[in-house]
Structure 1
Amino acid sequence: MPVWSRNITGNGVVVSIIDDGVDHTNMDLKRNFSWRQVCRGSGVGIAFNARIGGIRLLDGTVTHSMEATSLTFNDDFINVYVCCWGPRDDGQEMAGPGTLTQKALRLGTQKGRGGKGSIFVWASGNGGLVNDHCGADGYVNSVYSIAIGAVTHTGKPAFFGEPCPTVMAVTLTGANLGNTLPLVTVSNLGDGCVTHFAGTSSAAPIAAGILALVQEAK
C-alpha cells in the first residue's frame, strides 16, 4: 500500500506468462491484456496497471527451439517473463535448458528490454515432499533466471518447497498444512476467485508483480 500511495502501480511494464495459455477474457485481466487485476471481493492485484501477455508453449510437445523462441519473443516490448515449468518434480530427474534455450536466456539478459536485459522469473518447484532439490533443475539453477520459492503465513518454508542455493527470494502462498487463512486470492477461470493457491506457481507471479513495481519506480 505505501508503494501504491506513491502512484507506483506497474504502469508501463509488460509481464508475459509462458505457459499453456492465459484467460485473456477474464474480467480481471482483459483490460490489461493489451490489467485491471481486481478479483471480486478481494481488492487489487500487486501491479494492477501493468500490462499482461501470454505465450502458449506447454499445450503439446515442446522443443528447445520452441522454448528459445518463447523466451525471446518481443523482447524489446516485454519486461518480465514468468515461467512455472521445467523437469518433473519427482526427485529423480536432472534436466535443464538445451543449447538454444541457454543461448536465448543469455541473449535476453544481455540485449532484451531495450538493452537493459529481460527478466526471467522462474518458480523453484514443488517437489519437497519427495526430496527433490531445485539445484537439479537447470532452468531454476540458471544464472540468467530469478528463482522464486514459497513460504507460509508464518514465514516458514512451504511443505512442498525445494531447497537450493539458487533461490533468490520467496513470496507467500499460505501453504502450510492445515492452514485455512486465505492469504493468496487470485482470479480463476470463469470470472471466479481462488483463495488457496498453494505452490511456487503462485509465488513466482507474485514476485513478477513486485518486480513490475520496482521497474516503474526506477
Structure 2
Amino acid sequence: MSLEGVRILNGPLTDAQEAIALVHALEVVDIYTASWGPEDKGNAIGGPGHLTRKAILKGVTQGRRGKGAIYVWAAGNGGAYLDNCNLDGYASSPFTVTVGALGPEGRSAFYSEHCAAVLASVYVGGPHYPPSKEDLEKERQKPKVVVPEGRGKCRQTFQGTSAAAPLAAGAIALLLQANPSLGWRDVQHIILNTCRIPSPEEHGWLWNAAGFHFHPKIGCGALDVDRMVASAIHWKPVGRLKTWKSPPVKGKK
C-alpha cells in the first residue's frame, strides 16, 4: 500500500486540471480522496465541470481494471454557516463516498455539513455546538486524533471533514485489501450495511424506505472497519449501476 499526493490547489484552477488530477495514474491508483469543493460559506453552489464529470465517470468505469476507482470526498466544513453539501456537486455525486465528521462522544461536529449525500462519518473530533470561550479549555482536554506532521513533530488537532475523508480512504483501503474484487458500488453497499449509529441520542435519526438508518449530518453512521472487512470477505457483488429516465411532467398553465 502506498500514498501519493497531487497538488492542484495552488492558484487558479481549471476544469481540465481537476479532470487530470482525478484520473492521475488511473492504471495503478485504487482510491482517490479529495477535501475541496465550493466555498463553505453557505452562499456558493458549485460542482465538477464537463471534463471533470467525464473524468470521474472514466474512473468508476475503467479504474481498478474495470471494477472502478473509489472517490472519497469531504462533506465540507460549512456547518456553522448552515452550508449544505447538496449544493456541492462533488460531494453529492453518486460516484463519490461523502464523509462527515464526528466528535469524541459520537455526535456530529458542528462544522460538518448537513445533506442527503453524506454516506458515513468518522471520528476526528470537534464539539457538537460551536464552542464558547469557556468551552475551549474543555475541548482541549477531550480525546483527539494525533497524526505525524514531519520533521519529528506531531499535530494534535486533526479535525474537519477534510481529515475525515482521508481516514475513511484508509478504511476503504483495508476493505479492498480483504477483497480486491469489490467494485465501487460494492464499497458503498458495504458501508451502508455495516456502519453503526454512534450516538442514538442525537436528534435527526430516521429509517428510510430501504430499511437503513440515516442522519442528514452523519449518513448511515460511523464507519466500523472491523464489520466492513468481515463483510467484504464473503461479499456478493451488487452489479453495475442502472439508471432510469422519465419524461418531464408538464403542468397546466
- Decide which structure has the larger Cα Rg and report it: 2
The higher-RCO structure (CA 8 Å, 6+ apart) is 1
Stretches of structure 2 lacking an aligned partner (at least 5 in a row): 132-137, 180-253
1:13 alignment partner in structure 2: none
Structure 1 residue 110 corresponds to structure 2 residue 68: no
Alignment of 1:30-49 (within 5 A): none
Q: TM-score, normalised by structure 1?
A: 0.75
Stretches of structure 1 lacking an aligned partner (at least 5 in a row): 1-49
Deviation for aligned residue 1:191: 3.1
Structure 1 residue 204 corresponds to structure 2 residue 165: yes
State the identity %. Answer: 40
Deviation for aligned residue 1:190: 3.1
Q: Distance in 1 between matches of 2:142 and 2:106?
A: 14
Greater percentage in strand? 1
For the 8 Å contact 2:33–2:169, the answer to whether it is kept is yes
2:49 alignment partner in structure 1: 98
For the 8 Å contact 1:182–1:196, the answer to whether it is kept is no
Greater percentage in helix? 2
2:220 alignment partner in structure 1: none
Q: Distance in 2 between matches of 1:184 and 1:161?
A: 16
2:19 alignment partner in structure 1: 68
For the 8 Å contact 2:104–2:125, the answer to whether it is kept is yes
1:187 alignment partner in structure 2: 148
Deviation for aligned residue 1:165: 0.9
Deviation for aligned residue 1:182: 3.4
Q: Distance in 2 between matches of 1:144 and 1:163?
A: 19
The one-letter code matched in structure 2 to 1:190 is R
Runs of 4+ with deviation above 6 angstroms? none
RMSD: 1.1
Q: TM-score, normalised by structure 2?
A: 0.65
Secondary structure (helix, strand or coil) at the match of 1:188 reads strand
Alignment of 1:48-197 (within 5 A): 50-176=1-127, 177=131, 178-179=138-139, 180-197=141-158
